[in-house]
Chain A
Amino acid sequence: AQKVTQAQTEISVVEKEDVTLDCVYETRDTTYYLFWYKQPPSGELVFLIRRNSFDEQNEISGRYSWNFQKSTSSFNFTITASQVVDSAVYFCALSEAQVGGTASKLTFGTGTRLQVTL
C-alpha cells in the first residue's frame, strides 16, 4: 500500500531563512507520481509540482526547489529566503500507477505547517 510521511508537523522560521520540508514515501510500484500542494491560511489548495518516478532531476522554480531521491524514497521541498507569504500548510502526495500505466488513488501526507515570522 502507498504511504506518505511528513514527519515535521510544524516549522517556524524567521523571514529570509531557508527551510526544507521533508517528505518520505512508500510504494511497491516502479512507476508513480509525486506532488506538493500548498494550503495558505485562506484555505484553498494550490498545486506546486508534479514529478514522475522516472525523472530524478531536481527542479527549481524561483525560491522553490525540490530534491527527489529514489534511493531514500524522499521528495523534499526547500524554500530559499523564506517570506511571510510562504506561511501555509504544505502537503506532499503520492499516486501509484495502476495496470496499463494509468494511476488512480492519491495519498496525501499529514502536512507540515510552516510559520514564517518577521
Chain B
Amino acid sequence: EAQVTQNPRYLITVTGKKLTVTCSQNMNHEYMSWYRQDPGLGLRQIYYSMNVEVTDKGDVPEGYKVSRKEKRNFPLILESPSPNQTSLYFCASSLLLQGPGEQFFGPGTRLTVL
C-alpha cells in the first residue's frame, strides 16, 4: 500500500531535549516536505527536499533540521525543542512534475513541548 508513515504519532517532551520525528515513503517520490499546523495559521512549510542530499528552507525553518540521505526517508530533527514548537506536524511526499505534484501526507505527529 502506497503510504507515508511518521513516528511517533504523539510525543510529549521537555524543553531542550533533542528529538527526531521520522518520515518514510514507499512511492519513490523525489519531493518530500515537513509542515506544521497551528490553529489560525494553517499549514506552514518547514523544510523541503527535491531529492537525496538536496534540502531547502520553507517558511518557518528556525529551530528545525532535516536530512535526506536516502530517497525514502526525511527525518525532522529538533535539536533543542521549545514550547513554541508545540504543534501538529505533517510529513508529505510527491512526484516532482516541474513542481511539486499531489502531496501525499502522513497521518501527523502531535508534539507537545513542556
Q: State the A residues within 8 Å of B (CB).
A: 6, 32-33, 35, 37, 43-45, 47, 50, 52, 91, 93, 95, 97, 101-111
Contacts and interface: CB of A to CB of B under 8 A. Distances in A.
Contacts, number: 67
Nearest to B49: A104
A102 B96 CA distance: 8
A33 B100 CA distance: 8
B107 to A, nearest CB: 7
B33 interface: yes
A52 B58 CA distance: 21
Interface in B20-40: 33, 35, 40
Interface core residue of A33, A50, A106, A111 (most chain B CB under 10 Å) = A106
A37 B59 CA distance: 19
A110 B35 CA distance: 13
Interface residues of B, number: 26
A6 to B, nearest CB: 8
B56 A104 contact: yes
Contacts of B90: 45
Given A91-B43, A110-B40, A111-B42, A104 B105 contact: no
Contacts of B33: 106
Contacts of A109: 42
A106 B100 contact: yes
Q: Which of A6, A37, A104, A105 has the most CB of B within 10 A?
A: A104
A103 B100 CA distance: 6
B81 interface: no
Given A37-B103, A45-B105, A107-B59, A102 B44 contact: no
B103 A105 contact: no
Q: Which 9 A-B pairs have the closest CB atoms?
A: A103-B99, A110-B42, A45-B105, A108-B43, A47-B102, A33-B99, A111-B42, A108-B42, A101-B98
